[in-house]
Amino acid sequence: MTEPLRVGVIGCADIAVRRMLPAFAACPDTEIAAVAGRDPDRARQVAERFGCRPVHGYDELLELDDIQAVYVPLPAALHARWTEAALNTGRHVLAEKPLTTDHHRTGELLELAAAQNLVLMENVMFVHHHRHEAVRHLVADGAIGELRAFHAAFTIPPLPDDDIRYDPQLGGGALADIGVYPLRAALHFLGPELDIIGARLVQSAGRQVETSGAALLSTPGAVTAQITFGMEHAYRSSYELWGSEGIITVDRAFTPPADHVPVIGLHHGGKTEDIRLAPHDQVAATVAAFATAVRAGKIPDPGDTLRQAELLDGIRRYAAH
């Protein structure tokens, strides 16, 4: 039997403790070797909970010699530095989204990983949920006729004032943190030739980052994608594909819990059919995909990660002019 992949974690982040560490612990192909934090007490507390070694300091974690992969759940502005450091010590990396705050850096890191035959995966989990593959099949089978338009929204209520998402120095802002989901969904369904034809970012009073926004994109064949995102809204996490003969609707699209029963709404010929699928744990599926890529020595296609980074920068530029 092959030994599990030994993972070191850089930062005792909420997403790490709540979602990713339980998934790494449950996956037979991964084992949490160590958790590093800036505060030794916090690192000890988290390490105790997951039965691994606490480490005080991120550099110190990278000095350990029994770690093959690193998970980076830091604020966005710190992803590039620590991802690069981990790659330079020969570790495979699973880094939180957005991989960096600038598409040139994203390109550099993807090249660095590929040159060393290391897996570098951005932690966009919803793409690993089987519901979206089922939607792709429906579209390919002509269930809604010819695809005309895509709409997606991810909006959440306000967060505590000290949240990393409100801090420009830490790479905060609704676009990269939240808008990344509907944008990635648009790329997932409409492909990499999608380009920006309109964008607006809104910074609400008293905030130093954009707190909401929207963008309009189009394929060369004029299939349009409209995305809405924000962190001062009622909760919404959904997308719709509009065809010449029908519409597909998907709710709880981006962060469904493991036991959620996924439903695809198929509206066609004046009728609505709710297609129910088995629950699917997208966090477990993502961890398994990372471990499998490392095992197989197969570098995942970085195309969507890179195009997403280019479009995030493009939306910022478009909204500023």
Q: How far is the CB of 241 from ligand NAP (least distance, A)?
A: 22
Is the CB of 165 or the CB of 307 nearer to ligand NAP?
165
What is the rounded distance in angstroms from the CA atom of residue 22 to the CA atom of residue 124? 17
What is the rounded distance in angstroms from the CA atom of residue 249 to the CA atom of residue 231? 22
Is the CB of 92 or the CB of 97 nearer to ligand NAP?
97
Q: How far is the CB of 60 from ligand NAP (least distance, A)?
A: 12
Task: Pick the catalytic residue from 97, 233, 280, 307.
Answer: 97
Cis-peptide into 98, omega within 30 deg: yes
Q: How far is the CB of 130 from ligand NAP (least distance, A)?
A: 17
Closest CA to 304 of 142, 158, 98: 98
Is the CB of 86 or the CB of 125 nearer to ligand NAP?
125
Is the CB of 15 or the CB of 112 nearer to ligand NAP?
15
Is the CB of 143 or the CB of 187 nearer to ligand NAP?
187
* Binding site residues, ligand NAP, CB under 6 A: 11-15, 37-39, 42, 73-76, 78, 96-97, 123, 125, 164, 170, 177, 255
Q: How far is the CB of 309 from ligand NAP (least distance, A)?
A: 14
Residues 6+ apart with CB under 8 A from 142: none
Q: How far is the CB of 299 from ligand NAP (least distance, A)?
A: 20
From residue 150, alpha-carbon distances to 133, 137, 164 in Å are 16, 16, 30
Catalytic residue list contains 271: no
* Alpha-carbon dihedral angle through residues 112, 114, 119, 125, given to the nearest 10 degrees: 90
Radius of gyration (C-alpha) of the chain in whole angstroms: 20
Is the CB of 21 or the CB of 164 nearer to ligand NAP?
164
Q: How far is the CB of 245 from ligand NAP (least distance, A)?
A: 34
Residues 120 and 221: beta-carbon distance below 8 Å: no
141 is written with which tokens? 């089978």
DSSP 245-306: SEEEEESS-SS--TT---EEEEEETTEEEEEE-----HHHHHHHHHHHHHHHT-PPP-HHHH
Residues 93 and 74: beta-carbon distance below 8 Å: no
The three-point CA angle 214-217-221 to 5° equals: 160
Which residues participate in catalysis according to the annotation?
Answer: 97
